[in-house]
Amino acid sequence: MLRTPFSWTDQNVAILRQMVNEGHSASQIGARIGTSRNAVIGKALRMQIALAGSRGKPSRQTAQTRSARRVSHLPRAISHLQDIDAPAISAEPVVPEVVVPVEFALLEAHHCKFPIDDNIGPHMLCCGARRLKGSYCAEHAALTRGRGTESERKASSIGRAAL
């Protein structure tokens, strides 16, 4: 069955505007006009029309209100820190550790095993920095694992709290 391509005519745009004003969904509009939901969403975005149920960009006032709410709890959150005896902050600069790459065949148990060149085999160069938990140093572990999904981050924070 050969399908004729859909095009946005003035009549289709008028129906889109009318149905949006009546509160119809993109699926309902697409079914009426004879196109897909995604085509309706795309056209509405290009025309800067907010569809029913769309979240859209938050207004500037909403973003400022949210920011004010976030900051409003800080005095309460920081007040308990005054009771803690924290060590004095050192004015000495922190000197970064100099890391020399190590060939894969020469890696020791404490070396980061993150590959840093394209060679494959015993002469492949690896990071060689002191590794933490796992096979990589902190920098490469963060690079390979990323931050995870929201549920993974929540689960790991619950696991740390239980310790």
Q: What is the pTM of this model?
A: 0.34
Q: Residue 71: what residue type?
A: V
CB 113 within 8 A of CB 140: no
Closest CA to 45 of 54, 33, 34: 54
Instruction: Give per-10-residue mean pLDDT for the chain (163 aa).
Output: 78 93 91 92 90 61 55 56 62 68 84 82 84 81 72 69 55
**How would you classify the pairing of strands 102-103 and 125-126?**
antiparallel
C-alpha to C-alpha distance for 119 and 101, rounded to whole angstroms: 13
Token digits for 2?
């050969």
CB 144 within 8 A of CB 136: yes
Q: Half-sphere exposure of residue 87, counting CA atoms within 13 Å on the CB side? A: 3
Helices and strands (H, E) in the chain, number of each type: 7, 2
Token digits for 77?
């959150």
pLDDT at 3: 66
